[in-house]
């Protein structure tokens, strides 16, 4: 049996749940992390705080007795994350029928290229469907024309590629069969050493992005954290 959940350390773990027995409602919701658990409220809002329409992507907000009252001895972080009783997760998501939540990316990992939003998770999913890909990270880098360009770093399976341009071109062609053209990475770096990770094993995109953005900005894109 498979159950899907969504939550964060700040929410004492579980925010939504999609139980195994709910799978009968149809495959269109199987990518969802479910509905809010009892006692927890979930909203998806625009940057101005207005609630998004169903299917519209915005920031996920959470309220409930499970949400932390704040960060230990860090008032600034508490004010930034909790407003009006709602915890701002920093995750981008959307609501669909019957309050089913879909998580699409971290807001800071979203790429804005030519006024189009590209969600890194969607591009990474496309790359992972190629048998040569062991792991990958997708993020935005500066582009003089589009503002940001979609960039990928891919670690290949042992013996799957020689690290040359051929495999990168093959992966771009593969992505074009799965996602829109503007979402396909403009450049794909092939490497053999593992991607940098945190203690729990999360890929550290910030470390990968740092070398592409001006040092004066601390490796941070304008308007991002």
* H or E segment to which residue 106 belongs: strand 100-106
- Using CA atoms, how far apart are residues 63 and 68, in angstroms rounded to an integer? 10
Residue found by looking up tokens 């308007």 in the block:
223
Under a CB-based contact definition with an 8 Å cutoff, are residues 58 and 52 in contact? yes
Alpha-carbon distance of 154 to 165, in angstroms, equals 12
What is the distance between the alpha carbons of residues 166 and 43, in angstroms, rounded to a whole number?
A: 44
User: Bridge partners of 189?
Assistant: 153
Per-residue pLDDT of the chain (225 residues; tens, 9 = 90+): 788 999 999 999 899 999 877 765 666 788 899 999 999 999 999 999 999 999 999 999 999 999 999 999 999 999 999 999 999 999 999 999 889 999 999 999 999 999 999 999 999 999 999 999 999 999 999 999 999 999 999 999 987 756 567 899 999 999 999 999 999 999 999 998 999 999 989 999 999 999 898 754 444 455 454
Q: Exposure pattern of 41-66 as b/e (b: 16+ CB <10 Å)?
A: ebbbbeeeeeebeeeebbbbbbbbeb
> pTM value?
0.84
Q: How many Å apart are CA 166 and CA 188, to the nearest integer?
A: 11
Cβ atoms of 189 and 153 within 8 Å: the answer is yes
CA 60, 15, 205 angle in degrees (round to 5)?
55
Torsion, CA 88, CA 107, CA 92, CA 62, rounded to 10: -10
């Amino acid at each position: 049996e498979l159950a899907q959940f969504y939550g964060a350390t700040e929410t004492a773990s579980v925010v939504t749940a999609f139980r195994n027995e709910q799978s009968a409602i149809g495959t269109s919701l199987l990518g969802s992390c479910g509905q809010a658990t009892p006692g927890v409220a979930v909203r998806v809002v625009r940057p101005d705080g207005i609630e998004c329409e169903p299917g519209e992507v915005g920031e996920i907000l959470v309220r409930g007795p499970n949400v932390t009252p704040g960060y230990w001895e860090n008032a600034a972080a508490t004010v930034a994350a909790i407003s009006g009783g709602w915890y701002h997760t920093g995750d981008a998501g959307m609501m669909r029928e019957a309050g089913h939540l879909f998580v699409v990316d971290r807001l800071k990992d979203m790429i804005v290229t030519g006024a189009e939003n590209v969600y890194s998770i969607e591009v990474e999913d496309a790359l992972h469907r190629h048998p040569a890909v062991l792991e990958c990270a997708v993020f935005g880098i500066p582009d003089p024309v589009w503002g940001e360009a979609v960039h990928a770093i891919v670690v290949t399976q042992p013996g799957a590629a020689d690290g040359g341009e051929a495999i990168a071109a093959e992966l771009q062609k593969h992505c074009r069969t799965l996602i829109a053209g503007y979402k396909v990475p403009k450049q794909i770096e092939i490497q053999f050493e593992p991607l940098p990770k945190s203690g729990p094993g999360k890929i550290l995109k910030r470390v990968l992005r740092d070398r592409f953005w001006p040092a004066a900005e601390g490796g941070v894109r304008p308007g991002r954290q």
